[in-house]
Amino acid sequence: MDAVWRGSGPGRTPEVSIIVPTFNEAPNVPELVRQIGDAVAGLDAEVVFVDDSTDDTADVVRAVAGSSVVPVRLIHREHPVGGLSGAVQEGFRSSVATWCLVMDGDLQHPPEMIPVLLGRAKDSGADVVVASRYMGEGSSSGLANAARRAVSSASTALTRAMFPIRLADCSDPMTGFFVVRREAVDLTLLQPRGFKILLEILARHRLTVSEVPFVFGRRFAGESKASVLQGLHFMRQLAALRFGRMSRFAIIGGFGALVNLGIVAALTGLGMGYLVAAAIAAEATILMNFFLQERFVFGDLRHEGRGPLVRFAQSFGFNNIEAVVRLPVLALLVSSAHIAAVPATAVTLLAAFLLRFVFHARVVYRPRRSTRRQRTTIGSEPVLKEFS
């Protein structure tokens, strides 16, 4: 990964990092940097290009950085992960500013809105200020054609319906133009995928949102990267955000319960005592569930945290303790609290499921915080070194 910095002295902490994800936007970069420079006069800002291009965008950024009035940083990713969203996250990770503002690199997001968004963020005390195409004077007229405008409006309505609480105050969760208080975002919660990073941020955090209308303009130059494939990624993102990990965990738990019953039936059918059969079935199911959840529920987190043996020991230990503790709790509910056996069993199973999920998500597969970054100073120039 390549990092270039042009700016003022070492240890500088800008108030806002303007993060611009770019994929083959070379003809737009000089004009964008010029307009941002004009717009942020008087603000303590830096521009961070996170570039995955296969054209000469990175060279153009380097050239423009030399004469820009606003400090420009380039993170060029040789091996991009997570497309546009992954790029924005990389920009966040590299920032030490109070605010991170995200905007496209093709001038569809007018740079003169930058001080407006930042001003609103400071005045309102909100965590996020969204530049919305769907409120007040806002408009999505710059989208290439009526079909894209219709798809955008329909998917916005669907998304808001699926997250009625988290998106209550956000009319345009799919916009790529927003400013967010950097410390309000826990990067370890975000999946680097697709085009819709704001949705990922809002759906996974409890943030206060304020909005400002804006008119989404036409591309200045270059080609659109939006595609049907991006649309499919978006549907997957929605499903994962809404019905993600927890439902996969539940499916595996349900499947495990069926296998458990099958083993008990088979072993008792062969003449084994039911308690021994139940114990064997429980251990076999715990083992099976561990391997299934490693593959299908927490596959993306396996390499981020603890080693496989520790994960296994924690998961195995928790499930065995849970199996031992649940029955006395059930007995207590039935005998002392006088709850009927079936609802009491349902309550203990539900509580056990939730506890098991929380324990696995928060302890067993908890990712370590990124240790890949380090700020160093080379000569008088602060350089952001990235280790991948």
Closer residue to ligand GTP, CB minimum distance, 218 or 295: 218
Residue 143 near which of ligand GTP, Mg ion, none (CB within 5-8 Å, type-dependent): ligand GTP
**Plot region of 284 (φ>0 → left; ψ -120 to 50 → alpha; else → beta):** alpha
Is residue 22 close enough to count as binding Mg ion by CB under 5 A? no
Determine the Cα–Cα distance for residues 367 and 93; give it in Å rounded to an integer: 15
Edge-to-edge, what's the strand order for the sheet holding 178-181? 2-6, 72-76, 45-51, 16-22, 99-102, 178-181, 128-132, 209-213
Closer residue to ligand GTP, CB minimum distance, 144 or 341: 144
Residue 50 near which of Mg ion, ligand GTP, none (CB within 5-8 Å, type-dependent): ligand GTP
Determine the Cα–Cα distance for residues 178 and 86; give it in Å rounded to an integer: 16
By CB under 6 A, name the binding residues for ligand GTP. Answer: 21-23, 25, 50-52, 80, 83-84, 87, 104-106, 108, 143-144, 176, 219, 224-226
CB 385 within 8 A of CB 374: yes
Is residue 68 close enough to count as binding Mg ion by CB under 5 A? no
Closer residue to ligand GTP, CB minimum distance, 97 or 143: 143
CB 191 → ligand GTP: shortest distance, Å? 15
Is residue 25 close enough to count as binding Mg ion by CB under 5 A? no
CB 267 → ligand GTP: shortest distance, Å? 53
CB 176 within 8 A of CB 234: no
The terminus-to-terminus CA distance of the chain in angstroms comes to 7
Among 51, 52, 90, 106, binds Mg ion (CB under 5 A): 106
Residue nearest to ligand GTP (CB): 224
CB 103 → Mg ion: shortest distance, Å? 10
- The angle formed by the CA atoms of residues 49, 53 and 55, to the nearest 5 degrees, is 120
CB 216 → Mg ion: shortest distance, Å? 8
Residue 21 near which of ligand GTP, Mg ion, none (CB within 5-8 Å, type-dependent): ligand GTP
CB 2 → Mg ion: shortest distance, Å? 24
H/E element holding 154?
helix 146-162
Determine the Cα–Cα distance for residues 224 and 13; give it in Å rounded to an integer: 33
Determine the Cα–Cα distance for residues 44 and 296; give it in Å rounded to an integer: 45
Question: Which residues 6+ apart lie within 8 Å of 27 measured at CB?
Answer: 220, 221, 222
Is residue 172 close enough to count as binding Mg ion by CB under 5 A? no
Residue 204 near which of Mg ion, ligand GTP, none (CB within 5-8 Å, type-dependent): none
Is residue 90 close enough to count as binding Mg ion by CB under 5 A? no
Residue 200 near which of Mg ion, ligand GTP, none (CB within 5-8 Å, type-dependent): none
Among 108, 132, 156, 315, binds Mg ion (CB under 5 A): 108
CB 189 → ligand GTP: shortest distance, Å? 21
Please report which residue ranges of 189-301 form alpha helices under DSSP H.
197-204, 228-243, 245-269, 274-296
CB 375 → ligand GTP: shortest distance, Å? 22
